[in-house]
Amino acid sequence: MKQIIIQGIRGKMGRALCERIEGRQDCRVLAGIDLSAGQEGAIPVVSSPSDLPAGGDVVIDFSAPEASMRLLEYCVAHSLPCVLCTTGFSEEQKAQICQASEKVAVFQSANMSLGINLLAELACRAAKKLGLDYDIEIIEKHHHNKVDAPSGTALLLADAINASVDEPYTYVYDRHAVRKARDVHEMGLHAVRGGSIVGEHEILFCGQDEVITLSHSAASRGVFANGAINVALFLCGKPAGLYTMRDLLED
């Protein structure tokens, strides 16, 4: 039975992780990290990685970029695999993640859903087949408490498409001040924030007289929790390196 540490255990995703792990026989929550120390049910919660108990096998991080960087330092020092589910990293922080992955196994994905990652593959195939005759627009919708926009998942989809085509697109986030026709090398990314929307993503391929839409909708946070748990178990025992959902799917 693998011992999992959760950073951000008192957040919505942290609680979803605890609920899903509770019903499993292959892992348990050893401890949590959050802003204030104490207990989350029977689980000890500390405010700093340095106060964690020994015996952890892997860490799952659903927190904020700054907290993720502190966690990575701890993981490197203790040879502990880390699953980064946080989004909104700066370029400097992404470089730090790459440096950490040279010493420990690090799994990073903006979305832990199997469906989203399959959506990315389908979008890449469509982009290569349809070419510049079809304009690409991505629309993402999330709850009103989400702070980063566009979502990490929207960027994951856009980056996947860009990596699959010969001529990369330029991302356009706001057109209200633009008074010109759309360029064929633009890709629009649009964010909607409202209510309790868990996560919805649409990729529109807009051609002459037709629109092809690829979409994914998450009904609950459980889909991301299950994905993160499976990723954590996959990462246990892996050598140092930067892993992605593609590695899990191929495995």
**209, containing H or E segment:** none
- 247 burial class (0-12, 13-18, 19+ CB within 10 angstroms)? middle
Cα–Cα distance for residue pair 143/213, rounded to 1 Å: 22
142 flagged as catalytic: yes
**Three-class secondary structure assignment of 125-143:** HHHHHHHHHCEEEEEEEEC
176 flagged as catalytic: no
- 58 burial class (0-12, 13-18, 19+ CB within 10 angstroms)? buried
Give CA separation, 171 vs 117, 158, 161, 182, 184, in Å: 20, 8, 11, 12, 11
Structure tokens at 84: 């980064």
Write the CB contacts of 221 (distance below 8 Å, at least 6 apart in sequence): 12, 13, 16, 198
Residue the block writes with tokens 């002459």: 208
8-state DSSP, 76: H
Write down the catalytic residue from 78, 103, 146, 238. 146
CA dihedral 195, 149, 62, 199 (to 10 degrees): 40
Cα–Cα distance for residue pair 53/46, rounded to 1 Å: 9
Write down the catalytic residue from 2, 142, 201, 216. 142
Cα–Cα distance for residue pair 64/67, rounded to 1 Å: 5
Q: Which residues are known catalytic residues?
A: 142, 146
